[in-house]
Amino acid sequence: MPAHAHRSQTVKVKDVAREAGVAVGTVSRVLNDHPAVTKELRERVEKAMAHLGYEVDVTAQSMRAGRSRLVACAIRDFDIPRFALFIKEAEAVLREAGYTLLLASTTNRPDVEIALLRAFRRRRVDGVMMTLSDEQHRDVRAALSEATMPVLLIDRDRIEALDRVTADHREGARLATSHLLGLGHRRIAMLVGDLKAFPSRSRLEGFRAAYAAAGIAPDPRLLRDDVLSSEDAYRATSSLMSLAEPPTALFVAAMDMLGGCLRALRTMGLAVGDGISVVAGSDSDLAELYWPPITAIAWDLAAMGRHAATMLLERMRGDEIERGRGLTVPTELIIRGSSRPFAN
Amino acid sequence: MPAHAHRSQTVKVKDVAREAGVAVGTVSRVLNDHPAVTKELRERVEKAMAHLGYEVDVTAQSMRAGRSRLVACAIRDFDIPRFALFIKEAEAVLREAGYTLLLASTTNRPDVEIALLRAFRRRRVDGVMMTLSDEQHRDVRAALSEATMPVLLIDRDRIEALDRVTADHREGARLATSHLLGLGHRRIAMLVGDLKAFPSRSRLEGFRAAYAAAGIAPDPRLLRDDVLSSEDAYRATSSLMSLAEPPTALFVAAMDMLGGCLRALRTMGLAVGDGISVVAGSDSDLAELYWPPITAIAWDLAAMGRHAATMLLERMRGDEIERGRGLTVPTELIIRGSSRPFAN
DNA sequence: GACTCTTGATGAACCGGTTCATTGACTCAA
DNA sequence: TTGAGTCAATGAACCGGTTCATCAAGAGTC
């Protein structure tokens, strides 16, 4: 492609049409691979486009077509290291299909979520994948039902007929808790995020299910919810380990909170595995390489990203598919040295 | 805002104008806060908009205005945990200014970089911030000079008149190397990324400057470049430590490669600090919480993101500013237990 | 009272593509 | 030879805003 040439101002279909000696409609047909164009004309038009360095204006296309080939992704906070994998894979799938990714952070606030949905609609975004701070929030639900484009929920509870991809947090948490109970621990503390959102609720369910299966009741004083940052995890761990009867095991179930927990233990002079067992709710280099290595729950965020993008593409294509599909990726427990038998 | 009402089809300026009993031009003026509208008419129009649930079509606005209020960010790979901080802060600044962020991954390939620049132009993107796989690549430079919108380089070398934000990798690497040399190490291995890109080149410069200042020559056999993934770092570390004369210190200068290095050492049964010192090129939870904690170079990626967005906004505003501005955030060396005096 | 200025409102043209009713050429059958 | 049927190409209307030349009304001046 030479692309050099007459970059005087911007070249438009009209210019290409004149250069090729055809009508604008024909140029448009060539651009859109319409079958009813003779090979000869097609070549003439393509030559003219190359010669003039023509580039379609996507805005103008969107204008007429009513769709933008944009897909928006709005999540709580980009700054969750492993979540980048989700976005990376989703972007790759979408780009492959000719879509461009719009990114926005909801900062976990309902009003921002609503404002973003509105902004996306104003941009004629073709599809949205997002998290929600609170699936029950009335105004958010209203905004979702007013959305004119398909919305796919990322790791959130079922809402009406929206598609969703989730990880099996319930099972992950159940496995982790059973594992600790099986090692003889009875005082297991759980650090979990915002219970208004699906992952934390599921994890708590799994935790309780494991206790129930063992016929024991967990000590409610050992539950810390609303652990949303590493600093929160630091504070929660410090306060838990300062209890008169501290826990013998810590289940740091919120994503990416392990650092704060370990920092607190180190500050207090406590060694993981020696008296206090630790299980992390998500795997990481830190979990793998810490000494002792930290038992962790793992799941495939890359697959989640791919599935999310693929499901959304299908929905945008308008295929006749049942509404409200859900896809759950499995979680597994990777047992390492940080979870040891309880020795009293 | 009721927003209920006549959501028959989409409401347009024309409908609002009819409802308010004014001309479409007046509605447009109200939308754009044009001063020449009487308070009374403004209120009537606003009431009509609220009543009809009107929402402007950004595509149509872009069409006429020639600008999209989109800013694109294209980086090598989202999957660099700390880089999320950059994007997060940049997005916040841009959104505040009324822009939406487009995200794409270049996968570090020149052809993708060129294709993305073209795609951004087609979308009338107002500004771009991006990394480059190779600042010297002819076709990429040609594509950049053909770009019609301002482009800001993220952590890359000066190219013609483009703005840039960088971290002072040279100084960080110099500090790290001096530190190790000062501890008596003479055989320091360096793991670094692609030398075609600025950060790796700068780090190597800093490394060599420190050696030069000490009046010593580094052993070229201890340099490993093209370390781009954690697996690369694993292999490089393994091969280095298998040398007949292995290094006494490892400087893992590439970003986010520490995990692979530590994994290799663990596999080989080598303990950090005991015989082999380690310095990481970027800080992380892993570096801080590993035992012994890893000496690391740190810089403020959040500030880089904010500065990048701010500089790009200024440029897009068309302010009369000198071309080719550069902003460098400082790096510092956080000395921890992984770097110890060389004992022969 | 005539004239000039100022200010607010109007609506047709425009941004750059796509779509579709219409046209013209050509083939084939009766 | 005529009529029906295909198929490629045409170009005006359209998508939904913004802009700007034009106009009307009211204020101010002499």
User: Which tens digits make up the pLDDT trace of B178-189?
Assistant: 999 999 999 999
Instruction: Give the pLDDT of residue B141.
Output: 97
In chain C, which nucleotides are within 7 Å of a protein Cβ? 7-20
Phi, psi (degrees; rounded to nearest 5) at B104: -150, 150
> What percent of chain B lies above the pLDDT cut of 70?
97
Chain B residues touching A122 at Cβ < 8 A: 55-58
B195 closest CA partner among B236, B151, B228? B228
pLDDT of residue B247: 97
- Per residue in A251-283, pLDDT (tens digit) is 999 999 999 999 999 999 999 988 899 999 999
pLDDT reading at A21 higher than 60: yes
Q: Which nucleotide minimizes the distance between its C1' and the CA of B61?
A: D17
Q: Residue A8 pLDDT > 50, yes or no?
A: no
Report chain B residues whose CB lies below 8 A from the CB of A3: 146
Residue A26 CA to D11 C1' — how many Å? Answer: 10
At A204-224, the pLDDT tens digits run 999 999 999 999 999 999 999
- Chain A neighbors of B82, CB-CB under 8 A: 81
Q: Which residues of A touch B68 (CB under 8 A)?
A: 59
Separation between the CA of B45 and the C1’ of C19 (whole angstroms): 33
* A54 CA from D12 C1′ (Å): 23
pLDDT at A56 over 60: yes
B278 vs B251: CA distance, rounded Å: 6
For residue A179, pLDDT over 50 is answered with: yes
Give the domain B68-167+301-331 fold.
Rossmann fold (3.40.50)
A74 vs A62: CA distance, rounded Å = 22
Q: How far is the C-alpha of A95 from the C-alpha of B173, rounded, in Å?
A: 37
Least confident interval from A76-80, A123-127, B41-45, B193-197: A76-80
Chain B residues inside the 8 Å CB shell of A146: 3, 7
Nearest residue to A286 via CA among B145, B331, B117, B262: B262
- Residue A13 beta carbon within 7 A of nucleic strand C: yes
Q: Which helix (H) or strand (E) holds A203?
A: helix A198-213
Residue A65: closest C-alpha in chain B = B59
CA A304 / C1′ D20 distance in Å: 52
Residue B140 · residue B202 · CB < 8 Å:
no
Residue B320: which pLDDT band, with cuts at 50, 70 and 90? confident
> Mean pLDDT across chain B, nearest whole number?
94
CATH fit for domain A13-56, picks 1.10.357.10, 1.10.260.40, 3.40.50.1970, 3.30.420.610: 1.10.260.40
Q: Using the beta-carbon criterion (under 8 Å), do A121 and B55 form an inter-chain contact?
A: yes
The answer to whether B107 and B132 have CB atoms below 8 angstroms apart is: no
Quick: pLDDT tens for B332-343. Answer: 999 999 999 998
User: Residue A29, CB, less than 7 Å from strand C?
Assistant: yes
- The residue ranking higher by pLDDT, B158 or B79, is B158
Domain range summary for chain B, segments of one domain joined by + = 13-56, 68-167+301-331, 169-299
pLDDT score for B241? 97
pLDDT score at B1: 31
pLDDT for the residue A319: 76
Say yes or no to pLDDT of B58 above 90.
yes
Q: Inform me whether the pLDDT recorded for B7 exceeds 80.
A: no
Cβ of B63 less than 7 A from strand C: yes
The two tokens of residue B186 are: 């003479």
Q: What ranges in chain B are assigned the alpha helix state H?
A: 13-20, 24-31, 39-52, 58-65, 83-96, 110-122, 138-146, 169-182, 198-213, 230-241, 258-267, 285-289, 301-316
| Cβ-defined contact of A91 to B104 (cutoff 8 Å) | yes
Beta bridge partners of B151: B128
CB pairs under 8 A between A and B: 127
Does A123 sit within 8 Å of B59, measured CB to CB?
Answer: yes
CB contact under 8 A, B104 and A95: yes
User: Which chain B residue shows the shortest CA-CA distance from A92?
Assistant: B105
State pLDDT tens for residues A86-103. Answer: 999 999 999 999 999 999
Q: Tell me the average pLDDT across B44-63.
A: 95
Q: What angle do CA B185, B187, B192 make, to 5 degrees?
A: 110
Cα(B328)–Cα(B154) distance, integer angstroms: 11
Residue A3: predicted pLDDT: 31
- Residues ≥6 apart with Cβ < 8 Å to A125: A68, A70, A71, A72, A102, A149
Topology (CATH level 3) of domain A169-299: Rossmann fold (3.40.50)
* CATH topology agreement for domains A13-56 and A66-167+301-329: no
B58 C-beta less than 7 Å away from strand C? no
Judge contact between A144 and A166, C-beta under 8 A. no
What is the rounded average pLDDT of the residues B114-136?
96
Instruction: Quickly tell me which residue has 């067992």 as its tokens.
Output: A277
Measured from Cα to the C1' atom, the residue closest to C20 is A25
Chain A residues lying within 8 Å of B80, measured CB to CB: 84
Q: How confident is the model at residue B242, as a pLDDT?
A: 97
Which stretch of DSSP H or E encloses residue A191? Answer: strand A188-191
The CA distance from A151 to A155, in Å, is 13
Q: Is it the case that residue A327 has pLDDT exceeding 80?
A: yes
Å: A95 CA to D7 C1': 35
Per-residue model confidence as pLDDT tens digits over B224-238: 999 999 999 999 999
A36 or B230: whose pLDDT is higher? B230
CA A54 to C1' D10 (Å) is 22
Would you say the C-beta of B37 is within 7 Å of strand C? yes
Q: What is the pLDDT of residues A193-206, one digit of tens each?
A: 999 999 999 999 99
Q: Is there contact between B31 and strand C, defined as CB under 7 Å from any strand atom?
A: no
pLDDT at res. B332:
98
Q: What share of chain A is helix, strand, coil (3-state, %, to 5)?
A: 45, 15, 40
What is the CATH number that goes with domain A66-167+301-329? Answer: 3.40.50.2300
Rounded to whole angstroms, the Cα distance separating B259 from B280 reads: 10
Q: How many CB atoms lie within 10 A of CB B38?
A: 9
